[in-house]
Structures are given as C-alpha cells and as structure tokens.
Structure 1
Amino acid sequence: MTLTISAQPLTAAAFAPFGDVIESENQHQFYINDGKALRYHDIARVGIAGSEAHVGISLVDVSPWSLPLAVTLMEKHPKGSQAFIPLDDQPFLILVAPCGTTPAPGDIRAFVSNGRQGINYHADTWHHPIVSLQDQQRFIIVDRIGKDDNCDLHHLEPGQLEVVLG
C-alpha cells in the first residue's frame, strides 16, 4: 500500500515545528548603508549552544548605486564574518581593505562579482556596503547577531576615492 500526502502551502506557522521559513513577508526590517539597502533582519537562526550570540540569516534588498562611485564609508565586523549570497544573477561591486587600522584610500581594492558568486568577509575586514550595479538586487546575509555592537564605521572624506568599472 502506498501512502499519499498532500503538499500544503509553506507558511511560517505551519513550518514552525520544523524550522524557519526564510522570506521577507512580515519580518523586522530597516534601512542600512545610508538608505541604499533594506535589510530583513535575523529571519532565521543557526543555533550555537552556550552562546548569547547566534548566526543569523537575513535578506537585504540593495538599491542600485550610480557610477562613478564616490567612496565615503567603510565598515567592519570585528566579532564575526559576514556573507552575502546574491539571488538575482546580476553583477555587483565589492570594495574591501585589509583588517586592522582604518583603511587609507590606497588600501581599498575593488572586485566585480558575475552575479552568481557570493562573498564572505572575514571577521574584522574593512568593506564598503554592497553596490548593486543595475537594478534593485536581493542578497541573503549570514552573520553574527548578538546584543553587543559588532559594526565599526570609518568615514572617508568626499573626493578621496572614486571607483569606476575597468
């Protein structure tokens, strides 16, 4: 005898006994990166036994930036790595600088993802907010979330660094 089950629509309530539904509907959200990205914060958790912090999975919608890009902000997360996994198969711009003291404009490197490549910044690595190059773009973010602060900002003077696609 064959057992038959009927698939039901995936909802947070129906799936709750088994895990988290990863979606942006009805989630805590706020703008980050000077209003260029809407983050759906901490929508699923990767549990870590015995720790007050946890690994969070978030979604973020990034608005397109204009080029040439005037770089005025770098940030880092000293207590954990931060991954961005693209969902829209669109190229995006990545700006990074080595760990440690505040980066000088000459320390910053630029990369372009083909839109199918995600990135994971090592803990304490300076980076610019993700730069969408075409349309609004959605990413999955996997990073450490805790009650303590884990984001250091460094502002560069306008006019010090501009990025173009080569």
Structure 2
Amino acid sequence: MPALTISPLTRDSFALFGEVVMLEGARHYPINQGTTERYHALATADTAAEGGQPIISLFRGQPRSLPLEIGIMERHPLGSQAFVPLTQNEEDEYLVVVAPAGEFKLENLRAFLGKGFQGVNYAKGVWHHPLIALHKVSDFLVVDRIGQGHNCDEIQLQTDLWLTQDALDKARTA
C-alpha cells in the first residue's frame, strides 16, 4: 500500500497552502492593563467573494484509524477555511492532507502532522481532505465563509494512497 509521507506542520512548510495558526513566533503584546497577552493576527479570513461573510463554527471530529485511504478532497473557491484545535495538549494530534489551488493533481498531495494548538487556515481554493482527528473526539474552532455562490467542490479520488501508522511515527521524530 503506497503511503503518503507526513511532515511536521510549520509555517514555512505549509505556506503554499495557507497559514499555520500557532502562538510560537507570533506577534504578541500585553493588553488590558497587562492582564492579557494578545497574539495578534494569527491568520486572515478571506471571505468577501460574492458578498460572503466570516462565520465561526465548532467542528467535533471523530477519531480516524490508520491506515486511512485518501479517497476524497474538497476545496472552497470563494473563501478561506481555518481549523483551530481547542486543546493545549501537545500530544493531541490531527492530520492535514492538501494540494495547491487550481487543477487537482495527485502528485501534488502533501500531508502534515498538526500537534497541540497548531491550527491551519486553508487559502481560498486549496484542496484539502476532510478533518482527520486522531486518538479521540476532537473539537476545532472553524472560521469560514457564509453567503451566496457555490463554495464547496468535492472530488472522489481513484487512488491507492494511504496515511499509515509508520508514516505518522516518522513525522513524530522528524
């Protein structure tokens, strides 16, 4: 079974697909008379196409087992979509599978391991697999677009490409 390589999620490695939402390396400063630390502009919601507006939702992902076949991808051509895990635990993990915006090409698939509070903001039109929570039921704060226009394309893949436990173990030590 061909396995997709999984890489650690970093701002640089994910830049082609959008933004990584994380506190490490973020611009921050004290507010509210020094009682609060503001981590400023962690990502930008791109929702204005065809009069869209940003919305905030909660997605509760059921844990997936590995190996997991990559059989579907989706994209949102009118807006970005951010997923931020509601956890502080570094051992909480999820997987991200993406391909660049534009015509979908299987050879451009990339997989990333998100840990702890690391979130992703998929840029407008970026292909991505539906949420892949690992180990336990996981909650994600989601910021995306509501409004007129068709904003979700899905494709079924005819492939034998998998996310495997071995690939996950390698990503953990990378």
Q: TM-score, normalised by structure 1?
A: 0.65
Distance 1:129 1:136 in 2: 15
Q: 1:103 aligns with which of 102, 105, 108?
A: 105
How many angstroms apart in 2 are the aligned matches of 1:52 and 1:115?
34
The aligned residue for residue 115 of structure 1 is 116
Secondary structure of 2:84's aligned partner: strand
Cα deviation per residue 1:57-115 (whole Å; 9 max; x = unaligned)? 000100011101101000000111100010034110000111111231x2111100112
Structure 1 residue runs of 5 or longer lacking an equivalent are 1-45
1:162 lines up with 2:162 in the alignment: yes
- 1:130-151 CA distances to partner (integer Å, 9 max, x unpaired)? 2111100000000111132200
**The structure with more helix, counted as a fraction of residues:** 2
Distance in 1 (CA, whole Å) between partners of 2:150 and 2:54 is 15
Report the secondary structure of 1:65's partner residue: coil
Amino acid at match of 2:129: H
* Counterpart in the other structure of 2:81: 82
The count of aligned residue pairs is: 117
Conserved? CA contact 1:86–1:139, under 8 Å? yes
Deviates more, 1:86-95 or 1:134-143: 86-95
| RMSD (Å) for aligned C-alpha atoms | 2.0
Cα displacement string for residues 32-60 of structure 1 (whole angstroms, at most 9, x for unaligned residues): xxxxxxxxxxxxxx9x99x7421000001
Q: Per the alignment, in what secondary structure is the counterpart of residue 138 of structure 1?
A: strand
The match for 1:141 is: 142
Q: CA–CA distance in 2 between the matches of 1:116 and 1:72?
A: 27
Contact 1:102–1:154 (Cα < 8 Å) also in 2 = no
- Structure number with higher relative contact order (C-alpha < 8 Å, ≥ 6 residues apart): 2
* Aligned partner letter, 2:104: T
Q: Which has the larger radius of gyration?
A: 1
> Structure 2: any 5+ residue segments left out of the alignment?
1-44
